[in-house]
Amino acid sequence: MRRLGLGAYRFSIAWPRILPEGTGAVNQAGLDFYDRLVDALLAAGIRPFATLYHWDLPQDLQDRGGWPVRSTALAFAEFAAVTAARLGDRVTDWFTVNEPLCSAWIGYLDGRMAPGIRDLSLAVPASHHLLLGHGLAAAAVRAHSAGPVQVGAVLNLSPCEPASDSPADVAAARRADGHANRWWLDPLYGRGYPSDMLDVYGIEPPVRPGDLEVIATPMDHIGLNYYFRQVVTDDPTGVAPRTSMISVPDWTLTDMGWEVHADGLEHLLVRLSDEYGAQRVYVTENGSAWPDEVGLDGRVEDKERTDYLEQHLDACARAVQQGAPLAGYFAWSLLDNFEWSYGYARRFGLVHVDYPTQRRTIKSSGYRYADIIRAHRDRSVPANT
């Protein structure tokens, strides 16, 4: 990171490392690990950004019902308090939940991610308790940190467009937007759950008095993860929200099968500012997977990733010119890593990892990123300093 000139590093704190049973006994060795990480980052001049929940729920809590039950949100607040009490004297920038859409919709509705359940009657409560957990954890971080902190949530958002001008597809795009974007943004910004999506799901989230106020606790920043837009068609026989994504010919697709569409990032940054009044936004994840290989010369020439990076940074610049309050950009990811159900088969890193040997090789995209960072800093420094 220091070689690349990174000014900040966003990392996630593993809940099972800190509270192996989800609540109660604290594993001090786990906290010691993050102590060393934070100290090493600061010593290298790198600002730590901590994320509390990136989908690794302690198994004991899952066995007791997981996110569909309210007690998990309360346990999350306990985890946040313990962690902030240890690191909040040095970590000033915090995110609570990362991509709650994935935990609720993909974990409990689509069943494609842990815990692999397909049940809307569980997915809707899970979504509510993830948002409630955010609000409770934000309060806990603020209460237990020794120094001043900035706290917010991270959402993965997608522009949703109809596949055709037909009324059915236009309505489908509206439902897709509600499912992917408004269901999360509206309650966080004090609007409650969107009524049209309550009709789509046909299930009321288990809101208790005061819950919506906790969820809408003012955020100091919001994190935006962006990978692709959704072009959708009506799917009357499908599960909620009864839409299907389509692939359009001539799209450039990453190794994940995701469209490269940088304009979507510009659109979302402007929307967060114009529609929701976000005061500080970080692009907390943005990146692409490609079938990288180390060449005979020892280099990793990943032109596709370099092009992707440049296009999306250009989109960020256009959004800023329109008034978007962009405070920073984090590429996903620094290293090739474990990509959930894909295992190690998808490489997102700016740095190649040879898994058997753990050898790290900075890819061409990493060197280009370093050049962009250096040029940006040079333009930002006044001439007389």
Residues annotated as part of the active site: 99, 285
H helix intervals, the chain:
15-18, 28-43, 59-63, 70-87, 100-101, 107-108, 120-144, 167-177, 183-188, 195-201, 211-215, 263-274, 303-321, 364-380
Closest CA to 265 of 303, 225, 305: 225
Closest CA to 351 of 55, 9, 98: 9
> For the chain, how far is it from start to end, CA to CA, in angstroms?
25
CB neighbours of residue 299 within 10 Å:
14
Are the CB atoms for 68 and 122 separated by under 8 Å? yes
Number of H helices, E strands in the chain: 14, 12
HSE, side-chain direction, 13 A CA sphere, residue 273: 18
What CA–CA distances, in Å, run from 308 to 289, 301, 332, 360, 370?
10, 14, 12, 22, 15
The C-alpha angle with vertex 127 and arms to 93 and 339, in degrees rounded to 5, equals 65
Closest CA to 63 of 116, 119, 21: 21
At residue 215, the 3 state secondary structure works out as: helix
Q: Which residue has the tokens 């966003």?
A: 10
Are the CB atoms for 233 and 169 separated by under 8 Å? yes
d(CA 133, CA 144): 16
What CA–CA distances, in Å, run from 121 to 69, 186, 313?
12, 21, 40
